[in-house]
Amino acid sequence: MMNIWQDLQERQNAVADRKITALFDDPNRAEDFSLRTQHMLFDYAKTNIDAGARAALLQLVENAKVTERRDAMFAGAPINETEGRAVLHTALRNLDGGPVEVAGEDVMPQVRDTLARMRSFADQVRGGDITDVVNIGIGGSDLGPAMATRALTPYHDGPRCHFVSNVDGAHIADTLRGLDAKTTLVIVASKTFTTIETMTNARTARAWMQDHGGDPAAQFAALSTADDKTAEFGIDPAQVFGFEDWVGGRYSVWGPIGLSLMIAIGPKAFDSFLRGAQEMDRHFCAADPAENMPMLLALVGIWHNQICGHATRAVLPYDQRLEMLPDYLQQLEMESNGKGMQMDGSDSPRHTGPVVWGAAGTNGQHAFYQLIHQGTRVIPCEFLVAAKGHEPELQHHHDLLIANCLAQSEALMRGRSLEEARAVMHDAGLSGDELERQARHRVFPGNRPSTTLAYETLDPFTLGQIIALYEHRVFVEGVILGINSFDQWGVELGKELAKSLQPLVEGEVSAEGKDGSTAALIGYIHQHRD
């Protein structure tokens, strides 16, 4: 394995100064460095990956036994080794597949039963007097359904959906303000029903509903496996939807955590969402690595992060309704692969997950693209764009959107030379030293890599494909890097300390013994609270 990494590094060193544009001297470059499925096109031609580098990257897939690990995941093996769990979010969208066994037991009957209960409940809510749904969760219990619900706005034909995650009282207060407690359904999403942020918000919502004439016993639902705690909270068992420990939070939008989405778009559209993901699952399992979209997307990421040393990755959907996708992928990728420890307990010999960030185009163009184009650090960009929008009467808007998307990827690659900038300034009427000075400010280094994922339109099926694509990309990167993508121990320490600090913040316990910084901050808060 080390020889492959060394080979890749040497290949990159040899082409570091090569212009990406030079690769297009090959008339087949775009075709050879893109991949089509029935519904999507993934273009990675605007990177400095050539045939030799791609072959070496594919060797990483073979040596890391990615296909074997993939098959083990789909078969229900406990590949989450630090927690001794299977990883089977794929089973939640296995609508017409075969049995999936965990410890010798087929889990699909239970999955289908839960999905049927969700459909029945969603139809009941959509056909009743409920006007608004408030989903209370955090992390994967919030980001997944919130992102998907926003993305599929054109398909909403049910109650309005709202999402509360932050324990900051402003979030729940602002959300509930203006809602009718008598016609609001609250969904509490917490597997253990102990998540402190979620339960604090849930208790506030229950008090609000009681105080304003609602009926919490009838108007609360829970997405949880803790039946005893949901019953103690006062939630009808018929309105509790559980999921197994082989579904991680950031991979959970396909099951009960997606209930708010199902209520918004209806069970049929939700089924289409699942089928899109299932189709990507089938592609991931069947396609040769060289023709496998999740694997190639992962390998491009490995090339840019681990080989080229680019520490960040910008996700840039030219699709306004995907504005939350960068936030969603932050958790999916950074919580999954933000680890410094390998599966065997040894330190990783290389950097692992990148910093993931971004925003919807064209807004980002007027915010941070300056840094992407002319900053001193290279930031690989991942563009997403639909061939068609949902507003045919605004086709000119969509045409301009696509033109901007394609222009940005071209500009990143092509740049602008000093000679070209001088010509621009000459045409503007400048000359001499002023021409030279102004020209230098208009130089774009170019040679900055990007990929583009194009699809027909953002419908439930396509969204399912996109999310599953990125899920599998994270998995492949994790296997190649030798890390466990399915635990998240790094979030625990802060939670533990927050519990111990709360009595100090409340003034019940002295801050004596805390570090000087923490004690001083608590002192300031107490001083300005009185």
Measured between alpha carbons, how far apart are the two ends of the chain, in Å?
A: 61
Alpha helices in 347-431 (DSSP H): 369-374, 395-414, 418-427
> What is the CB neighbour count within 10 angstroms for residue 504?
19
Whether the CB-CB separation of 60 and 44 falls below 8 Å is answered with: no
Cα separation, 379 vs 370, whole angstroms: 11
Active site residue 351: no
Of 279, 335, 382, 477, the active-site residue reads 335
Active site residue 495: yes
**Strand partners of residue 358:** 315
Cα separation, 15 vs 216, whole angstroms: 64
Whether the CB-CB separation of 159 and 126 falls below 8 Å is answered with: yes
3-class SS of residue 482: coil
Cα separation, 49 vs 23, whole angstroms: 9
- Please report, as a single letter, which amino acid is at residue 396: H
Cα separation, 42 vs 163, whole angstroms: 32
> CA 5, 410, 456 angle in degrees (round to 5)?
90
> What is the CB neighbour count within 10 angstroms for residue 411?
17
Burial classification of residue 355, based on how many CB atoms lie within 10 Å of its CB (0-12 exposed, 13-18 middle, 19 or more buried): middle
Cα separation, 516 vs 122, whole angstroms: 52
Cα separation, 112 vs 124, whole angstroms: 18
The residue with tokens 């439930």 is 460
Active site residue 335: yes
Cα separation, 104 vs 99, whole angstroms: 11
| Overall residue count recorded for the chain in this entry | 530
Of 366, 396, 499, 528, the active-site residue reads 366
As annotated, the active-site residues are: 335, 366, 495
